[in-house]
Amino acid sequence: MNILPEIPKDQLECFKVNVKEWLDVDEQIRDLEKQIKELKSTRNKKLEPKITGFMRSFNISDLNTDSGKLRCNERNTKTPVSKKSIKESLEKVLTSTEQIDTAMDEIYLNRQVITKYKLSKVKK
C-alpha cells in the first residue's frame, strides 16, 4: 500500500491559489482566442478575397494606407503529404504491391514518438 506524504498546509494553499489563477487565465485566453478567431475569419475569408480580387483585376500590386503599405502577393504552395499521395507516388516507382505496403508500414508505423507534458482543462 502506498502511503502518500502529508502536504504542508502552506504549500497546499499556495498550490490552490496557483491552480485558481491558472484556471482564470485559461478562461481569459479562451475568450480572447474566440474573439481572435472571429476577427481572423472576417479578415481572411470575407475581406481579403474581395480586396485581392480588386487589386488583381486592376493590376494594383501595392497600396499605400495610413497604417502602412499593403501588398498583394502571389504564393504557390504544395499540398500537404498524405497517406494517399505517398502511396500513389510509390506505385509510380515500385511495381510490387508487397514492396509498397512494406514501405507504407515503414513510413507510418516507425515514426519517432516525442513525449511532452501540458496542462489541459477537461470539458464537462
DSSP string covering 9-58, please? HHHHHHHHHHHHHHHHHHHHHHHHHHHHHHHHHIIIIIIHHHHHHHHHHT
Within-domain flag for 73: no
Residue 108, pLDDT score: 84
> Rounded CA gap, 10 and 30, in Å?
30
Q: Which three cell numbers stand for residue 29?
A: 485566453
Instruction: Name residues whose C-beta falls within 8 Å of residue 60's C-beta, 6 or more positions apart in sequence.
Output: 54, 72
Q: Does residue 124 have a pLDDT over 70?
A: no
- Residue 13 sits in the same domain as residue 38: yes
> Rounded CA gap, 41 and 48, in Å?
10
Confidence of residue 117 (pLDDT cuts 50, 70, 90): low
- Residue 56 sits in the same domain as residue 87: no
Point out the least confidently predicted range of 10-24, 32-46, 74-88: 74-88
Confidence of residue 107 (pLDDT cuts 50, 70, 90): confident
Q: Please tell me the total count of domains within the chain.
A: 2
Point out the least confidently predicted range of 32-41, 54-63, 70-79: 70-79
pTM above 0.85, yes or no: no
- Residue 59 sits in the same domain as residue 92: no
Residue 99, domain extent: 81-112
Q: Are 72 and 54 in contact (CB under 8 A)?
A: no
Confidence of residue 14 (pLDDT cuts 50, 70, 90): very high
